[in-house]
Amino acid sequence: MTTEPPKPGDRRPLAWTVAAAVVGLALVGQAATSSSATYDETTYLNVGARWWREGDRVGITRMGSPLLFWKIQQAPVFWALDRLGRGDLIDDQPRRQAELLPLARLGASWIWLAGLALVAWWAGRLNGPWAMAYAAWLYALSPNLVAHGALVTMETPVTVATTASFLAFWGFLTTGRRRWFWASAAAAGLAFSCKFTAAVYPPILGLVWWADGLSRDANLAGRLRRTARVAMGTGAFVLIMLASDFALTGFATLPLSPRSGRHPSASGWFGALGPLAARIYETPIPQDWVGFAAQIRHQASGGPGYLLGERRMGGWRYYYLVALAVKTPPLIWLLAACRIRLDGLRACLTRQPDRMLLQAVLIFFLIASAGSSRNYGVRYLLPMVPLAVVWLSRLARIEGEAGSRAVKLRRLVLGAGLLGQAVAVASVHPEPLTYFNAFAGGRIGGRLILADSNLDWGQGLRSLGRLQRARPEFRDLTLYDFGDVDPAYYGIAGDVHVINADEGQPPPPRVEDVSTPYLAVSASLQHGPWGPEGFFRSLDGRTPVAWTDDATIAIYRTADVRAEPARPQ
């Protein structure tokens, strides 16, 4: 890919952009068919099938999840299956999950493609045609974007809706046209109906808006007037956002409480106002608001997390800093450093036309780091990745003489950045969810740093099935599996013990009591937060005899586990 200024009518940037879309879709397609369902996908497929057949959509809200994203992903596929006479795949869930899952994933891949189109268009508007092409390739070769683009979870829908909302808000800041403001708020409502993370977008965009027109020469009265004006505008943004969510979810309502009658908690919390609070509990409100309230309760109670060998309830303030360090291809940081070197950090934050991108990314990161008590994965930062890609595309706007040293150096950096992305995604293809960079020790080293959706989200059953077919001796094993579906549905043989994220499960048989020649353990149980505390300690220091090809499941020889550990010489 060249970066020389295009001549009028030059279609090469568009051709490179289309090529990026084709390559990216191929990567997403192969990833979609390679793995079994992640933990969350099992839930969403079951919920989607019940909704499609019975109209039930209450359970997902009580869990604390939005209403729309899984419908957008699954409804077109379900409609097509019914028309083709294959509705039995929908009816027989989760037993036929292995057949339905890749169809649902492939059918939802258009959402990932829509994200690429938005990113490319935004980069082109800011920085020209070659920046459009470059941004498209950065997006298409991102291991994290490809990984979640191949799943039917909420991450890609909320990421694409977020991109649309922030793009429209950039249009508002650039042109001053209110229609872009309302479009941004409506898109934020779409994002909220995909993931409740979008609740932080109004304050982020309000801060960006306030800073955009701020003048150092403004007196205190002027600043106060601007603050009041922005606050009122942000309030209007919230109202349109909530109205958009309510409309997109079909004006569905649900009471906060699943039951009527006595509410002891209302009396305990509100005293004499208990009867009024009980009535509010039983009054139907927009259904996504009920789900949001449930999610707030989850966040308040925290959740088990894993970082650098430590398990903790409530998370770490530096969790996402570590996650970014080990889950981002290293040469992306080179691109970021060069972008800052090109314009200067202060200019990137205050003067450049794309300043809102870096501002929004940094504010979001600070909110996520300070406010999240449930550290489950780098995926929580995914909505900001497209903004970061557009911000980096500024490097592809080459200015100056083609043969100058500065231009040659910039092109070298651009090429290195794309090469780094290509090497990163190729190193884990077709299992991009398991990507860890070389500084983390790759996927094997990553097991000791992060768990859950960073590596083993319960998606390794297809990989284990491939291994059992290639090496039949591994069919006689004991499997400790992190997930929420019967491994037999994926053809897994052996003595199977499934451990999910629910509390109060009876402990499985001890590792030391295994009677099969081999035992296999999911990474999120052995090193992550979901296995019983200390349950797999006898595996410490043991070398697996095999790994699944995605490195999410390690296989040990039982005799080695029972043997006394070797003493150092």
Q: Rounded to 5 degrees, what angle do the CA atoms 166, 346, 210 make? A: 45
48 vs 69: CA distance, rounded Å? 10
Tell me if 520 sits within 8 A of 479, measured CB to CB: yes
DSSP 3-state of 215: coil
212 vs 173: CA distance, rounded Å? 8
pLDDT confidence of residue 395: 94
Using alpha carbons, select from 311, 465, 470 the residue that is nearest to residue 479: 465
560 vs 554: CA distance, rounded Å? 14
The secondary structure of residue 380, as a DSSP letter, is: G
pLDDT confidence of residue 568: 45
The residues near 47 (Cβ < 8 Å, ≥ 6 apart) are: 56, 57, 59, 60, 70
Type of residue at 383: P
The secondary structure of residue 52, as a DSSP letter, is: H
pLDDT confidence of residue 569: 42
Note the maximum CA span of the chain: 79
The residues near 217 (Cβ < 8 Å, ≥ 6 apart) are: none
Tokens of 550: 């995605």
Phi and psi of 496, rounded to 5°? -110, 135
pLDDT confidence of residue 274: 66
Tell me if 524 sits within 8 A of 452, measured CB to CB: yes
DSSP 3-state of 307: strand
Type of residue at 376: Y
Tell me if 411 sits within 8 A of 395, measured CB to CB: no
CB atoms within 10 A of CB 417: 25
450 vs 309: CA distance, rounded Å? 8
Model pTM score: 0.94
Tabulate helix, strand, coil % of the chain (nearest 5): 65, 5, 30
Tell me if 458 sits within 8 A of 481, measured CB to CB: yes
pLDDT tens, N- to C-terminus, the chain (569 residues): 655 566 667 899 999 999 999 999 999 999 999 999 999 999 999 999 999 999 988 989 999 999 999 999 999 999 999 999 999 999 999 999 999 999 999 999 999 999 999 999 999 999 999 999 999 999 999 999 999 999 999 999 999 999 999 999 999 999 999 999 999 999 999 999 999 999 999 999 999 999 987 765 578 888 888 899 999 999 999 999 999 999 999 999 999 887 776 666 666 566 666 677 667 777 899 999 999 999 998 888 888 899 998 998 888 999 999 999 999 999 999 999 999 999 999 999 988 789 999 999 999 999 999 987 788 899 999 999 999 999 999 999 876 556 678 888 889 999 999 999 999 999 999 999 999 999 999 999 999 999 999 999 999 999 999 999 999 999 999 999 999 999 999 999 999 999 998 877 788 899 988 999 999 999 999 998 888 888 999 998 899 999 999 999 999 999 988 776 544 44
56 vs 65: CA distance, rounded Å? 14
Residue ranges of alpha helices (H) inside 128-154 are 129-140, 143-149
CB atoms within 10 A of CB 431: 25
97 vs 242: CA distance, rounded Å? 34
289 vs 508: CA distance, rounded Å? 38
166 vs 207: CA distance, rounded Å? 13
Q: How far is CA 459 from the centre of its chain?
A: 15
Q: Which residues of 141-169 are buried (b: 16+ CB within 10 A; e: fewer)?
A: bbbbbbbbbbbbbbbbbbbbbbbbbbbbb
152 vs 457: CA distance, rounded Å? 13
Distance set, CA 242 to CA 202, 235, 284 (Å): 11, 11, 16
Number of helices followed by number of strands (H, E) in the chain: 26, 9
Q: Which residues of 24-52 are buried (b: 16+ CB within 10 A; e: fewer)?
A: bbebbbebbebbbbbbbbbbbbbbbbbbb
DSSP 3-state of 258: coil
Distance set, CA 145 to CA 24, 142, 384, 410 (Å): 10, 5, 11, 25
Using alpha carbons, select from 314, 324, 326, 547 the residue that is nearest to residue 439: 326
